[in-house]
């Protein structure tokens, strides 16, 4: 089994170094493959199963544990890539995953806040505190740019080009993109910077990261979303806010106000426009609501 665990580690290193995948993606692969390894060990298999029926048994067990179709689809995707790598490395001769179909994924519409709800959310941080000013600047930036939380916490001071109203973002697969940012969000960042610098001075630290925690270290994704959950509760927003809610809201509101789909695709950093098109369903619903509320003959 140590040999199989080593092969997983080799594959994860390959995925990180050769394919340039993000730490979050690598962590997801690792979780999936370790679950598969636990199954192989439990079934006392001496090597990776080479029969589709054996892999189907693993997927059936995962379904029995209550995993959703989306999770099973991810498992199939992870195993497919892993087995392809095993073949290329000549560790196995045939790929059994070619006989396995992923379950159809349920398309869930992304949840977006209304413009009024976003306004309430942005007003929640306590501006009499240093952390409140930081949180307001961060929330304004997330809504102004549609960037991912992971992209925001990795922003460095040099990435903010205030004179051009642009921010350089390092996205998925280490792909850089320049995205526009509103003057309002830049004003909040400008207001936060002296607070940030004073915080570092007090602690005798230095940092290139834009957003810092109370100890002067890099802010984490988990901390950001704990804050957003807290602020949503304070604002009386009952929706089930996810890590992408402000990103979804940004894209939806741009399209509702007439933005071109291709422009939104570029700003969000989607490689495939079909990923961006899901927001058009939300805006069509908005158009229908407006029509029904405003047409005099309805």
Which residues are designated catalytic? 148, 172, 244, 247, 270, 279
Count Cβ atoms below 10 Å from residue 120 Cβ, excluding itself: 16
CA distance 210 to 192: 9
Beta strands in the chain (DSSP E): 160-161, 166-170, 176-180
Quick one: which of 71, 58, 70 has its CA closest to 100? 58
**Residue 186 CA to chain centroid, in angstroms?**
23
**DSSP β-bridge partners for residue 166:** 161, 180
Question: Distance (Å, rounded) from C-alpha 75 to C-alpha 179?
Answer: 33
Please compute the mean of the pLDDT values over residues 272-292 and round it to a whole number. Answer: 71
Catalogue all structural domains in the chain, each as residue range(s) with its CATH number.
2-99 (1.10.150.130), 115-294 (1.10.443.10)
Q: pLDDT tens digit string along 165-217?
A: 999 998 877 789 999 999 999 999 999 999 999 999 988 999 999 999 999 99
pLDDT digits (tens, 9 = 90+) for 133-156: 999 999 999 999 999 999 999 999
Alpha carbon distances (Å) from 20 to 14, 71, 178: 9, 23, 20
Q: Which of 253, 230, 285, 229 is nearest to 116 (CA)?
A: 253
Interval 73-101: pLDDT, tens: 889 999 999 999 999 999 998 899 988 87
* DSSP symbol at 212: B
Is 105's pLDDT higher than 60?
Answer: no
56-77: average pLDDT:
87
pTM of the complete model beyond 0.75 = no
Residues 219/212, Cβ–Cβ less than 8 Å: yes
């Amino acid at each position: 089994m140590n040999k199989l665990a080593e092969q997983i580690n080799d594959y994860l290193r390959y995925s990180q170094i050769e394919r340039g995948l993000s730490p979050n993606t690598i962590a997801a692969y690792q979780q999936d493959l370790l679950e598969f390894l636990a199954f192989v060990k439990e079934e006392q298999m001496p090597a990776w199963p080479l029969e589709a029926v054996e892999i189907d048994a693993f997927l059936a067990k995962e379904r029995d544990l209550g995993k959703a179709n989306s999770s099973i689809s991810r498992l199939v995707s992870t195993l497919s890539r892993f087995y392809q790598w095993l073949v290329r490395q000549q560790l196995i001769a045939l790929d059994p995953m070619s006989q396995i179909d992923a379950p159809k994924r349920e398309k869930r519409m992304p949840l977006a806040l209304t413009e009024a709800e976003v306004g309430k959310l942005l007003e929640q941080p306590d501006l009499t505190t240093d952390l409140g000013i930081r949180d307001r600047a961060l929330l304004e930036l997330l809504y102004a740019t549609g960037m991912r939380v992971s992209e925001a916490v990795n922003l460095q001071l040099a990435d903010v080009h205030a004179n051009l109203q642009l921010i350089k973002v390092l996205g998925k697969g280490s792909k850089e993109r320049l995205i526009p940012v509103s003057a309002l969000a830049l004003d909040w960042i400008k207001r936060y910077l002296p607070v940030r610098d004073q915080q570092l001075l007090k602690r005798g630290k230095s940092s290139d990261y834009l957003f810092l925690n109370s100890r002067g270290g890099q802010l984490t994704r988990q901390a950001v979303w704990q804050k957003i959950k807290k602020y949503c509760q304070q604002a009386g927003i009952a929706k089930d806010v996810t890590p992408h809610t402000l990103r979804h809201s940004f894209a939806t509101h741009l399209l509702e106000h007439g933005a071109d789909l291709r422009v939104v695709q570029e700003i969000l950093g989607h490689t495939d426009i079909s990923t961006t098109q899901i927001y058009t369903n939300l805006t069509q619903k908005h158009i229908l609501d407006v029509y029904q509320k405003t047409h005099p003959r309805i």
